[in-house]
């Protein structure tokens, strides 16, 4: 099968492209900077560039779309252009090119309204209630993608939750760096139960959705390890794997949410070079429960997470030890 994978310069996109190539698929990657996926053809460009999108989708049988603007802050127009308009452009180009399968990699945040999630499945995406520009535009993109499902063009959405693993710069390295600098608090008692997803499990779920797109078309599926843990325990596991002391101080969640609102206003006027230290969405994620019921995902995709959290932390520690030696 000829498969286009967008966003392959990121950890998850690279993992999906590598897995498909390793099993014998003819893989093309499409992203703004080189991805370095072995045996894959590469197209450089942005999903909001019609010419680049047309070149990337030409002669493809299927598309796995991971490229997105992912941030806690930024110009809302940038999120709209990349996440919503880019997805629509890719959908149109894929159909015109004759692709028959389209897997959108979405996020559980598309249905998160700021309160605890306790054992929910894949609720319908709600752009009007989603928290922040990223979640709002990903929700709109998911609705647009699922609405495009039609005979001869099977569309599936997969929502991996908090993906992490060796080489992760989006979550793990930021957690480690902020903990090492003493700038990472635990909110409340750190007891809120949250689901996360080891990267290999997210990869295998996305591949399963691609393979079964005709059977599960028009649906969205939440993907996690199925092992909810207290948020303080998860953060401590990442820190210890990197040889860094876990956070030893705490802040009330309500205070963090209030501080996040202030930071967001300041960031809108004078953004920093990295992610803001706190936002309302981030405070909610760190202080409220969010874990999911995977029964529909397991049944429909015929998929099970193969790497446990404890094994994932062991692999993460091995990665950091090897990095120290290098």
Decide the pairing of beta strands 101-105 and 220-223: unpaired
Q: Where are the alpha helices (DSSP H) in 167-304?
A: 172-180, 199-211, 213-216, 231-241, 253-269, 280-287, 295-301
Rounded to whole angstroms, the Cα distance separating 262 from 242 reads: 31
Contacts of 69 (CB under 8 A, 6+ apart): 78, 79, 82, 83, 134, 137
Q: Write down the catalytic residue from 30, 134, 164, 221.
A: 134
Terminal C-alpha separation, the chain: 37
Rounded to whole angstroms, the Cα distance separating 113 from 127 reads: 10
Phi, psi angle pair for 63, to nearest 5°: -130, 135
Known catalytic membership, residue 320: no
Residue 326 CB coordination number (10 Å):
5
**What is the C-alpha R_g of the chain?**
19
Active site residues: 134
């Amino acid at each position: 099968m000829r498969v286009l994978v967008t966003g392959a310069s990121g950890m998850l996109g690279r993992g999906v492209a590598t897995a498909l190539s390793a099993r014998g698929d003819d893989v093309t990657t499409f992203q703004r900077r080189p991805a370095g996926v072995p045996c894959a053809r590469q197209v450089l460009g942005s999903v909001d560039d019609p010419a680049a999108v047309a070149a990337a989708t030409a002669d493809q049988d299927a598309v796995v779309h991971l490229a997105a603007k992912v941030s806690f802050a930024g110009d809302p127009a940038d999120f709209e252009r990349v996440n919503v308009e880019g997805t629509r452009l890719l959908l149109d180009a894929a159909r015109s090119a004759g692709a028959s399968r389209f897997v959108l990699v979405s996020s559980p945040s598309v249905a998160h309204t700021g309160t605890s999630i306790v054992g929910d499945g894949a609720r319908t995406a709600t752009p009007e209630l989603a928290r922040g520009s990223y979640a709002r535009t990903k929700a709109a993109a998911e609705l647009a993608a699922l609405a495009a499902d039609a005979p001869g063009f099977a569309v599936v959405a997969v929502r991996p939750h908090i993906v992490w693993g060796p080489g992760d710069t989006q979550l793990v390295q930021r957690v480690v760096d902020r903990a090492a600098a003493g700038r990472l608090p635990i909110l409340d008692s750190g007891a809120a139960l949250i689901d996360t997803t080891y990267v290999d499990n997210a990869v295998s779920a996305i591949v399963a959705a691609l393979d079964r797109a005709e059977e599960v078309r028009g649906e969205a599926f939440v993907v996690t390890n199925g092992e909810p843990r207290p948020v303080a325990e998860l953060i401590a596991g990442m820190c210890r794997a990197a040889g860094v002391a876990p956070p030893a101080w705490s802040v009330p969640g309500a205070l963090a949410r209030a501080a996040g609102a202030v930071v967001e206003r300041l960031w809108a006027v004078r953004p920093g070079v990295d992610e803001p230290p706190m936002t309302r969405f981030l405070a909610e994620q760190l202080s409220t429960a969010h874990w999911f019921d995977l029964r529909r995902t397991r049944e429909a995709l015929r998929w099970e997470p193969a790497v446990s959290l404890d094994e994932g932390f062991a692999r993460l520690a091995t990665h950091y030890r090897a990095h120290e030696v290098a």
